[in-house]
Structure 1
Amino acid sequence: MPLPQSHPALVVRSVRIPDPGDLVSLIPADAEAPVCWLREGDGFVGWGTATAIQTQGTSRFADAEQWWRGIVKDAVVRSQVDLPGSGLIAVGSFAFAAASEAGGVLHVPATVVGRQHGVAWITTVSTAADLSGAAPLEASECPDAPTISEVGNGALSGSEWMAAVGTAVERIQSGALDKVVMARDVVVRSETPIDPRYLLRNLSDSYPNTWTYSVDGLIGATPEMLLRRQKGLVTSRVLAGTIRRTGDDEHDLALAGSLARSSKDLEEHEYAVRSVADALSPHCSSMNVPESPFVLHLPNVMHLATDVAGVLHEDVSSLSLAASLHPSAAVCGTPTLAARDLIAELELMDRGRYAGPVGWLDAAGDGEWGIALRCGELETPSQMRLFAGCGIVAGSEPESELGESDAKLVPMRQALGCGPS
């Protein structure tokens, strides 16, 4: 997707419609550039591209922001709906590392169907020269499951990754840094094309309390909201510290208690919360940072979680806030530069857009940006690379961290139909 030298003036219409039911089922089988942002059935899906930009390097966020301001300035918007995700929006995802060839992408879908608080709408986006409008909405047939032929190692095997984690622990114990997040990848190959709609339906059904997303071939269900900006307020959900669920409710309750008391996990969580609060504070007139985390229960794991909130004192967009928060200690480490260098040395892979911001913003700058976790990237129509990462501190044990990473791969493996490891 080339960097455009100019952009078309867009005509945007959002109109209310009867509740269409399952939003994922509305994505056409032959949809170009399908997008998704859903939680507990609400949010939006979209397809087609009215206009888009791809950015690179350290300026990937700033270049996308500048481009978006131009789009907003020249657009004509007519909306019957005033709800998050209605009107003119852009969806995007950005690489974890500035050096990654994945860069950043921000694109305006040609058609968006959304629902919030029992109100549904359709948005159509066209240029002034093309005012043909949207085709009638029809639910598509259930997509076929992929025929998985292989689940193989990515950059490192399990034993090689544990050795890398052991090296990271030694560096931390030597005082070189406090925390580093080590990620690993696995490659899933299929004999048949992997239909994004099949994954989105499985993820949204199995993990309704997370944000199910699809942007530019990056598909996942993240439990971590990097930030939400809405009418002058900014909130961020920080997750760090994880334990795998067993399926036995009584045992899991005991595990939740041990997680809440774990000095190793509390230390990891404190670094993550502090990094988010420090990044948001320059933009806020007041902030609320809880002293203690709560335990977030998901179907496969439990996390220590803290919701940070602030009142913005300046007109800064959600995308700019995401740029200032990235990378947080929850996906990189502390200190940031030392952790980045160690990640580049030990992971031996390009994370691409894994662990980068993924989400959307509107014409006013409001929006939601999650961290691209519990995800996979479609490298070809029949091959997908899955990612998982673990926060490493002085008390981390490589074998336990490998087990935690396997637990974090479960959502995508189940969605693909190749089961947990």
Structure 2
Amino acid sequence: MIDLKDKQVETVLEEAIKELQTDDECRLVSITKKIDKVDPLHFFMAAKQLGGNRTFWTDSKQNLWLTGAGKAHQFSAEIDRFEETEKQWNAVLDQAIIHNPFTVPGTGIVALGGMSFDPKKQPTELWKEFRPSQFTIPAFLLTRYKNDHYLTINIYVKKNDHAIQLADELKSIEAKLLLGRVNHSDSLTITDQLEVEPEKWKNSVREATEEIRNGIVEKIVLAREVRLKFNRQADIAIILSNLINAQPNSFIFAYEIGDNCFVGASPERLVKLEGKQLLSTCLAGTAPRGKTKDDDIRICNELMNDEKNRQEHAFVVTMIKRAIKDYCTEVDIPDEPVIYPLKNLQHLYTPVEAKLKDDHSIFDIIKQLHPTPALGGTPRKESLAFIRDNELLDRGWYGAPIGWLDSNQNGEFAVAIRSALIQGNEASLFAGCGVVMDSDPEKEYEETKIKLLPMLTVLGGKQ
């Protein structure tokens, strides 16, 4: 590894090219620099000119924003996907030349991506572009951390490349990206809305309660799909802008492959890692927001004292504690949940803090946590088997880990709920609920309608 601090792009590229020994050898070069303020959504809109490979992320506090343009490198895995993904990520870092004088999260080489909910489920055409595990290292990445902005350029170089020519090309693309603007197109209107077999879904809830009564499982999470058609092709930048305004306490994400874009506003963190400091969250138990302050307080108190929701939440707390105990030290979990309010919903919430052991990685934790009882059920093996055999949809990346990791040992993944798969002028929306012994199919159906609201409203639906 050569010392790259304070060198210009041309010099960095030139020295990287000189290290190559043969004509067919190539190296990934990553250069991060601090820049003036740039709007992440303007950057996202401008990134459209680099083709259908855009990525977006902002955390629930809007401290960190990541906007990726283009694709410098992509890696995916299907068999042993957690181990294989980590192996490929480490291989990229081992070979790359990284010029990053900053220790800021989300700088240096950053990979953004996600995974499917259940790789054993027979996939459908709906999710054909999305692998069981797939991550992209953008060609250009805008990072906004608190009030500072950074641009990372990632490019592969070969022995016969010319550093000055490459630098000029990169400079030209960079200028276009940094001058991007959001085009305010006409309002998106839903022209057709189809609930996929709601009565069959309610029947599957009944079957799940029978399974629970027979002592096979304790809880099963069942999801359903709503399909939409629009008056025009959906503009992902506008959708992201609307989600940011409407769901300020959520993780906002987008992962685009060609004409397909998986986008959402999830309130649920799976895991966050800063160095060795780990944070996970238990988010299970849901109720609507009240129309008045008094109504809101009443619903909040009912949620805190509702036996079904508290049981559902306790399943998740117990599972996360068991999942991380062999991988972490200094595990800290409060005894009681609190209320986590969103615009349309409120949830029971318990944070989990710990310190990751030296010989483990964020992928070890993701493997242990996914799927949590809030998305799969408990016990995990038996609940997943029921979902696999009885659920009416291909979840794809819905309900699965989505997020980012960087070359500075940082990363964060959310659970991809409150989400939609956008495909041109069509979309599929997903929502699920936890079924326990005394679940009522009609009430569970109404709960999924509430959970569909965050995406439905920003896509032109009515509240």
Shorter-chain TM-score category? over 0.9
What's 1:3 paired with? none
Is 1:306 matched with 2:350?
yes
Deviation larger for 24-33 or 120-129? 24-33
Deviation larger for 331-340 or 306-315? 306-315
Deviations 1:299-335 (A, max 9, x none): 0011001101111122422233212211111110000
Matches within 5 A, 1:107-186: 107-129=136-158, 130-131=166-167, 132-134=169-171, 135-136=174-175, 137-144=178-185, 145-154=187-196, 156-157=197-198, 159-186=199-226
**1:36 alignment partner, one of 56, 61, 66:** 56
Contact map agreement 1:187 1:386 (CA 8 A) in 2: yes
**1:93 alignment partner, one of 107, 114, 119:** 114
Deviation at 1:252, TM superposition (A): 0.9
Shift in CA distance, 254/24, structure 1 to aligned 2, threshold 3 Å:
same
What's 2:232 paired with? 192
Shift in CA distance, 133/30, structure 1 to aligned 2, threshold 3 Å:
closer
Contact map agreement 2:105 2:408 (CA 8 A) in 1: no
Deviation larger for 79-88 or 221-230? 79-88
What's 2:135 paired with? 106
Deviation larger for 325-334 or 168-177? 168-177
Q: Aligned residues: percent identity?
A: 28
Is 1:55 matched with 2:77?
yes
In structure 1, what residue type is equivalent to 2:389? Answer: E
Q: Secondary structure at the match of 2:325?
A: helix
Q: Secondary structure at the match of 1:205?
A: helix
Deviation at 1:402, TM superposition (A): 1.0
What's 1:203 paired with? 243
The CA distance in 1 between the partners of 2:27 and 2:231, in whole Å, is 42
Deviation at 1:400, TM superposition (A): 1.3
Is 1:330 matched with 2:352?
no
Shift in CA distance, 167/363, structure 1 to aligned 2, threshold 3 Å:
same
Deviation at 1:182, TM superposition (A): 0.8
Contact map agreement 2:264 2:418 (CA 8 A) in 1: yes
In structure 1, what residue type is equivalent to 2:193? Answer: V
Contact map agreement 2:33 2:150 (CA 8 A) in 1: yes
What's 1:342 paired with? 386
Shift in CA distance, 377/209, structure 1 to aligned 2, threshold 3 Å:
same
Deviation at 1:349, TM superposition (A): 1.6
Runs of 4+ in 1 over 6 A off after TM superposition: none
Contact map agreement 1:81 1:121 (CA 8 A) in 2: no
The CA distance in 1 between the partners of 2:224 and 2:58, in whole Å, is 26
Deviation at 1:173, TM superposition (A): 2.0
Deviation at 1:98, TM superposition (A): 1.5
What's 1:263 paired with? 307
In structure 2, what residue type is equivalent to 1:71? Answer: V
The CA distance in 2 between the partners of 1:359 and 1:270, in whole Å, is 25
Q: Secondary structure at the match of 2:336?
A: coil
Q: Which runs of 5+ in 1 are unaligned?
A: 1-5
What's 2:253 paired with? 213
In structure 2, what residue type is equivalent to 1:386? Answer: L
Contact map agreement 1:319 1:365 (CA 8 A) in 2: no
Deviation at 1:340, TM superposition (A): 0.5
What's 2:341 paired with? 297
The CA distance in 1 between the partners of 2:66 and 2:253, in whole Å, is 10
Q: Secondary structure at the match of 1:328?
A: coil
Q: Secondary structure at the match of 2:170?
A: coil
In structure 2, what residue type is equivalent to 1:160? Answer: K
Shift in CA distance, 195/304, structure 1 to aligned 2, threshold 3 Å:
same
In structure 1, what residue type is equivalent to 2:287? Answer: I
In structure 2, what residue type is equivalent to 1:34? Answer: R
- Larger Cα Rg: Structure 1 or Structure 2? 2
What's 2:99 paired with? 78
What's 2:451 paired with? 408
The CA distance in 2 between the partners of 1:8 and 1:236, in whole Å, is 38
TM-score for the superposition, normalised by structure 2: 0.85
Shift in CA distance, 138/319, structure 1 to aligned 2, threshold 3 Å:
farther
The CA distance in 2 between the partners of 1:187 and 1:343, in whole Å, is 20
The CA distance in 2 between the partners of 1:312 and 1:355, in whole Å, is 24
What's 2:28 paired with? 10
The CA distance in 1 between the partners of 2:25 and 2:330, in whole Å, is 38
Deviation at 1:31, TM superposition (A): 4.6
Q: Secondary structure at the match of 1:246?
A: coil
Contact map agreement 2:290 2:297 (CA 8 A) in 1: no
Deviation at 1:291, TM superposition (A): 1.1
Deviations 1:264-302 (A, max 9, x none): 111100111111111111111220111111110000011
Q: Secondary structure at the match of 2:433?
A: strand
Contact map agreement 2:108 2:408 (CA 8 A) in 1: no
The CA distance in 2 between the partners of 1:315 and 1:203, in whole Å, is 38
Contact map agreement 1:143 1:197 (CA 8 A) in 2: no
Deviations 1:43-90 (A, max 9, x none): 211110001023224x22222211111110111111243211111110
Aligned residue pairs total 410
Deviation at 1:143, TM superposition (A): 4.3
The CA distance in 2 between the partners of 1:7 and 1:25, in whole Å, is 36
Contact map agreement 1:226 1:237 (CA 8 A) in 2: yes
The CA distance in 1 between the partners of 2:421 and 2:359, in whole Å, is 33
Contact map agreement 2:224 2:392 (CA 8 A) in 1: no
